[in-house]
Structure 1
Amino acid sequence: MTALWQQPWFWPVLAVVVGLPVLLIVLTEVASTLQRRGNPGARVVRLIRTYVVPTAAVSVLVAQVTLAVDSRDFTWTKVATTAFGFLVIVALLNAVNLTLFTNAEKGSWRDRLPSIFVDIGRIVLIAIGLAVLFSTVWGTDVAGLFTALGVTSIVLGLALQGAIGSVVSGLLLLFEQPFRLGDWLDAGGVRGRVVQVNWRAVHIDTGNGIQITPNASLAGSSFTNLSRGDGSYTVTAPVAFTTDDPPAEVVALLQRVAAALPELWPGTTPVAVPLGGAAYEVSYEVRGPAQEGSSLATLRSWLWYAARRAGLGLDGDTTDAFVTPGRIEQAVAAVAPTLQVTADDVPALVPSVRLERYAAGEVVLPLGVVPEALRFVLSGAVALGVPQPGGVLLPVSRVEQGDFVGQTVLTREPTSTRAVAVSEVAVLVVPGDTLDALVRARPRLARELGEVIDRRRVAAREVVETSGGGTGSRGRLAG
């Protein structure tokens, strides 16, 4: 009688009984370690542990059982072997995909390769792998099948060459990737942001809907990627004034307003030019085409207020129903207690003051300039802050109705904060000469203004020092 260990099935079965648990434990630990490290390879290891290894063990056991009963029917053995072979193919494809594409360096050809090419390649490799598997395990003749598929492909290609040509053109465009999601395109009169790209078409958000542009159309024509450049995007806005407005004043106004836009690209300077007659054009750089709309909206809003403050006729309109003698007199009467003037002094003060309005976000008074007037807030609110590198504004205080900004006009010192309109703001402007005359007749007014100057300077310094920038800003705020 043959010894147990000399049986042909003994060692394969022993290898399965002993090796399977050990291998499963090892693969489980490896998968857990990779998962804790955030490595995508954990998915491949789990696939091998859950499916490939157990299927291999089943294949070995089924084969040994078939041999033990001396059966000529190897169907179950072939089925188990086929399942194992298919899972091996899937695991290998996942490993290749992980190695080549999942961990691809940004900007490399592997990263730029469209996913549809990866999917097509995966299908082709699975088909080839299954053909080899069936030919090896089942002895199937797959040559005829490939021949039939080849002939069918040629017939379909000739019949659908127009449609297939468009698809291929689109796929080649995807492979080149002249644009990505979020880029702004200008293609054949269609201008907008790319929101979706697939194998057939590009979806462009034009602001008035989604424009579906076939990839073949883009591949067969020229287009402009507005997001690819030196990082900035030029916005050009035509504006009109009146022929009576001095061109030099209009150009200076346009450049000054555009230079204060929050979307302006750092280090750039707006340019405004007269085009003849009442037409002008202002150009400036923003951070990208996505900010064109918001910057133009802000520019047009601010120009309306700035033109009326400067007495210029934007769009040919020189009227301003807000500035009337009656409203000016009411504004002077409202601030008379602060200026320590009586009701009898109000009419004499009206001709020397003026009313101004500012849009939300406009700078009412810049940092580091000597104010030319004291501005009383009649409506709205003004935020005082200290600008920091990167465009950050450290808030200091808030000036509301009845309060004022520009108090250092009295001492001819630069401002220690920037005053920005929180909402639409109406102010009464008291020029420096008028304020000097009031102060000479009212020494207590000078002391009160001096106290406000000191209080706001200290508040600005404390805010800067608290934020960690006190050393570099101390000298500037001391003014």
Structure 2
Amino acid sequence: MDGFSDGWLWWAIGVAVLVPALLVVLTEIIGALTRRGHAAAKPLRLLRNWVIPAAALLALLAFAFRSDAENAWPRVVATVLGFLVILLLLSALNVALFSNAKEGTWRERIPTIFVEIARLVLVVVGLAILFQWVWGADVGGLVAALGVTSIVIGLALQNAVGGVISGLLLLFEQPFTIGDWLEVGAVQGRVIEVNWRAVHIDTGAGIQIVPNSTLSGASFTNKSQPRGAFHATTTVKFSTDDPPHEVVALLEEVADSLPSRATGERAAADYLGAGAYSVTLPIAAPSLQQQALSTYLAWLWYAARRRSLALDGDSTDPLAEPARLAAALDVVAPTLHLGEAERELVVATSRLERYGTGEIVQAAGRVPREVRFVVEGRARVAVEADGGLIDIATAEPGDYVGQTALTREKALAAAVAADVLTVLVVPVATLDKLVAARPMLAQEIGRSTELKRKLAAEALAGVSLAAAPPARPVRGR
């Protein structure tokens, strides 16, 4: 009965009953949180596995057995328990602040290194308080010595530390991320790495290392912000005799056909006077700027000559020479079954056009007003599917595209220049006369149209089949 009167037996019974019950409850809670993937399971697991057993042991030593206050074992256990409590509080704080941080908030943007440094400081301060409370240690002198040492080291390494601090501030502010396109003075490229000391920029001609201190002390341009289309601008000149509204329409039409154009964005062109025009190209990413401008200027050269507009003040086109048209007729004459009279009709009503690699010769979904016969080069015949083109055939010299002009139907497939392409453009009125004179030509064009319709249907069916989800097996009862 002395144990009950002294109280130590009650402590022993309380620890023996309450601790297992608490561990069982925590195990169930941790299991439920783990199944849900909740971050709070980690600190609770630390509480169950380490903090509660250490607290129970300390209770037995300090209260149940009434150990001497000068005994080292209760102090050792109290020190371990205090350290575990510090770790538990830090883990819980991390879960509360950063585990469910929303995108764009300061909690999501704060660099991991800042969190680690703050955690280290809190651990050191907590241990100092713990040792002073449990062991009665005087930590004031140690703190003062560490402060003086830190000042000396900081002065000796101020240049290096300045770069590190600049890097940490950049990481915290995050004015750019990996993959953004930066322009820093004469340096322009894509960010591939950001560390404490410097930013690594891929310029296309090598990796440029820009110190963080340089970035933090100077202005730079992030061409990837704001998110969305990147607008590249160029200036072109035409003859002052060219009607401005026709030139603006041509500039915007060519720009809108670029493959690198941002989805849902339209190009814009402005007349500056004296034959000068400014064009703004909305492209998908800054990394495509040079390629987009090069392709645009090349396609504009071909398109301007097809419209008889004087890009850079020059409207001459070698295709306009009569000898070139006569040579083109020799290529397509077998396809059209041309006699002497029909040849003269084609010469009088037709013309030659040239397209750059990748240009759209015939758009799908539109009723062609002319039939184009390939004279030089090749054209890809493709159908549109899932925002892209699927090739179904190739048109080579002597072949033709846009034959649905005869039936006044929309073209099922698009024709794209596979390389520099020269075509003979025959108006539908001329082709009607040729078909009337040569019924066999109408049959051949009809068979060609049916073949392309079949190829287009097969290509679209293949895409639909590939995109469809796999069929789920049906289990019998």
Determine if the TM-score, normalized by the shorter chain, exceeds 0.5: yes
SS at match of 2:104: coil
SS at match of 2:2: coil
Alpha-carbon contact 1:383-1:422 (below 8 Å) kept:
no
Matched, 1:392 2:387: yes
Matched, 1:442 2:438: yes
Percent identical among aligned pairs is: 47
State how far apart, in whole Å, the 2-side matches of 1:336 and 1:62 are.
Answer: 108
Summarize the alignment of residues 322-341 of structure 1 with structure 2, pairs less than 5 Å apart: 332=329, 335-341=332-338
State how far apart, in whole Å, the 2-side matches of 1:422 and 1:15 are.
Answer: 87
In the superposition, relative to structure 1, how do residues 294 and 16 fare at CA in structure 2: closer, same or farther (>3 Å)? farther
State how far apart, in whole Å, the 2-side matches of 1:148 and 1:128 are.
Answer: 15
Q: Which amino acid aligns with 1:382?
A: R
In the superposition, relative to structure 1, how do residues 59 and 204 fare at CA in structure 2: closer, same or farther (>3 Å)? farther
Unaligned runs of 5+ in 2: 465-477
Alpha-carbon contact 1:203-1:210 (below 8 Å) kept:
yes
Q: Tell me the residue number matched to 2:288.
A: 291
State how far apart, in whole Å, the 2-side matches of 1:252 and 1:115 are.
Answer: 52
Matched, 1:429 2:412: no
State how far apart, in whole Å, the 1-side matches of 2:414 and 2:177 are.
Answer: 41
Alpha-carbon contact 1:372-1:409 (below 8 Å) kept:
yes
State how far apart, in whole Å, the 2-side matches of 1:32 and 1:327 are.
Answer: 82
Summarize the alignment of residues 262-301 of structure 1 with structure 2, pairs less than 5 Å apart: 262-265=259-262, 266-271=264-269, 282-301=279-298
Taking only aligned residues, the RMSD between alpha carbons, in angstroms, comes to 4.3
Q: Which amino acid aligns with 1:220?
A: G
Q: Tell me the residue number matched to 2:220.
A: 223
Q: Tell me the residue number matched to 2:229.
A: 232
Q: Which amino acid aligns with 2:224?
A: S
Matched, 1:74 2:74: no
Q: Deviations 1:2-38 (Å, cap 9, x if unpaired)?
A: 35x5565434444444444433333333223222222
SS at match of 2:225: coil
Matched, 1:24 2:23: yes
Question: CA offset at residue 131 of structure 1?
Answer: 0.8
Q: Tell me the residue number matched to 1:177.
A: 174
Match 1:382 to one of 369, 380, 383: 380
Q: Which amino acid aligns with 1:439?
A: V
Question: CA offset at residue 135 of structure 1?
Answer: 0.9
Matched, 1:39 2:38: yes
State how far apart, in whole Å, the 2-side matches of 1:238 and 1:61 are.
Answer: 85
Alpha-carbon contact 1:193-1:204 (below 8 Å) kept:
yes
Matched, 1:213 2:192: no
Question: CA offset at residue 228 of structure 1?
Answer: 2.2
Summarize the alignment of residues 20-419 of structure 1 with structure 2, pairs less than 5 Å apart: 20-61=19-60, 63=62, 67=65, 74-161=71-158, 163-229=160-226, 231-237=228-234, 253-265=250-262, 266-271=264-269, 282-303=279-300, 305-306=302-303, 332=329, 335-341=332-338, 351=347, 356=353, 358-367=355-364, 369-377=366-374, 380-386=378-384, 392-393=387-388, 397-401=392-396, 403-411=399-407, 413=408, 415-417=410-412, 419=414
| TM-score of the pair, normalised by structure 2 | 0.77
Q: Which amino acid aligns with 1:138?
A: W
Q: Which amino acid aligns with 2:410?
A: T
In the superposition, relative to structure 1, how do residues 58 and 229 fare at CA in structure 2: closer, same or farther (>3 Å)? same
| TM-score of the pair, normalised by structure 1 | 0.77
Question: CA offset at residue 458 of structure 1?
Answer: 9.0
State how far apart, in whole Å, the 2-side matches of 1:71 and 1:383 are.
Answer: 94
In the superposition, relative to structure 1, how do residues 457 and 274 fare at CA in structure 2: closer, same or farther (>3 Å)? farther
Question: CA offset at residue 442 of structure 1?
Answer: 1.3
Q: Tell me the residue number matched to 1:475.
A: none
